[in-house]
Amino acid sequence: MLLRGLSLTAQIVATFLGLLFVTFLIGRVMPIDPVLAVVGDQASEASYRAAYQEMGLDRPLYEQFFGYLTDIFSGDFGVSRVTSSPVLEDIARVFPATLEMATLATILGVGLGIPAGVIAATHAGRWPDFLLRVFSLLGFSIPIFWLGLMGLSLFYGQLGWVGGPGRLDIYYQNLVPQITGVLLIDSLITGNLEVFWNAVNHLILPVSVLAYHSMAYISRMTRSFMLEQLGQEYITTARVKGLSETRVVWRHALGNIKIPLITVISLSYATLLEGTVLTETVFSWPGLGLYITNALLAADMNAVLGGTIVVGIVFVGVNLLSDFLYRFVDPRAK
């Protein structure tokens, strides 16, 4: 157990160091001058040189990298040029919005995608399979920003069934104190049901767009896994023994694809948590994706690199969680 723990720790540290090295290189090869981003393009040569030295860019690359590591491990991601606030504080402020939307979309995508994939596999080659495959293919192929724009135009602009861009209507903004950062939870904690239902109204469309995309991916993978299992000899044996088709499909076949399904769901969730840039941009959703996009457009490299590091941490964390779930749902993995 001790050796396994040390091995896992070493893997995590190596992955994180590799991530930091990549982000450091990105900051050096990007066609953006970090000094000009600070002093402006009208600064004198003396001001430019002073800022250049102050930022440590005159030092050798290995010294710059070790300085970068020291800052990151001390929790100093730098100050955002756009907000004039520490990057870590900005990310802590915007990430709950992405967490809220991504979690709901994943729950909906899993709840619809797995049954759809199972039904498609058990009706392979027939019309339910054909319809579900077409439906999932469209969800996987249609650009997500186009789907979001069409949804806003129809359901918000024309029909008025859902809320528009943003997390809340202007009237309800700043009425609920930020406790967890997740607006649905904070509004329930404070007992403000008007804000809660307004937030739900604004979540419906972006969550549905992301859930459709997630469901398309999960259903396609579930169908593929189920087709493989339904062709196995143990399924034939279970049917010969007289087990009901429901038990054969939903308990035995589905039970044996739990491990690959966990992997698929984890990757889908991590992708949404990294900040769905296009969705958050279309819906003006103040999450991590929109934050990184605005920072990139403003040449705010501290914010861009800080957001990139958080994205890497999210992927590492979700992978660790999936490894734990493997051992929880399948004793053979222990």
Over residues 74-115, the pLDDT tens digits come to: 888 888 877 888 888 899 899 999 999 999 999 999 999 999
Quick one: pLDDT at residue 31?
64
Strand-pairing partners, residue 79, are 86
Judged against a pLDDT cut of 70, whether residue 293 lies above it is answered with: yes
Averaged pLDDT of the chain:
84
Q: What is the DSSP string of 38-71?
A: HH-TT--HHHHHHHHHHTTTTS-HHHHHHHHHHH
Which of 8-22, 141-155, 280-294 has the least mean pLDDT?
Answer: 8-22
Over residues 245-260, the pLDDT tens digits come to 888 888 888 888 888 8
Contacts of 113 (CB under 8 A, 6+ apart): 214, 215, 216, 217, 218, 219, 222
Q: What is the DSSP string of 274-297?
A: TT-HHHHHHTT--SHHHHHHHHHH
Q: In Å, how far are 260, 270, 325 from 322, measured between CA atoms?
A: 10, 11, 5
Judged against a pLDDT cut of 70, whether residue 140 lies above it is answered with: yes
Q: How far apart are the C-alpha atoms of 199 and 177, rounded to whole Å?
A: 14
The answer to whether the CB of 266 falls within 8 A of the CB of 260 is no
Name the 3-class secondary structure at 86. Answer: strand
Query: What six digits make up the tokens of 19?
Result: 């991530």
Q: Specify the residue for token string 């991601």.
A: 77
Judged against a pLDDT cut of 80, whether residue 217 lies above it is answered with: yes
Reported pTM: 0.84
Query: What six digits make up the tokens of 300?
Result: 């705010």
Q: What is the mean pLDDT of residues 116-128?
A: 89
Q: What are phi and psi of 79, to 5 degrees?
A: -110, 135
Residue 296 CA to its chain's centroid (Å): 18
Query: What six digits make up the tokens of 128?
Result: 């339910």
Judged against a pLDDT cut of 90, whether residue 203 lies above it is answered with: yes
Quick one: pLDDT at residue 309?
84
The answer to whether the CB of 248 falls within 8 A of the CB of 121 is no
| Domain spanning 87-333: CATH superfamily | MetI-like (1.10.3720.10)
Judged against a pLDDT cut of 80, whether residue 318 lies above it is answered with: yes
Q: Which of 301, 320, 319, 315 is nearest to 23 (CA)?
A: 301
- Band the pLDDT of 40: cuts 50, 70, 90: low
Name the 3-class secondary structure at 79. Answer: strand
More confident residue, 235 or 58: 235
- Band the pLDDT of 223: cuts 50, 70, 90: very high
Domain boundaries, the chain: 2-73, 87-333
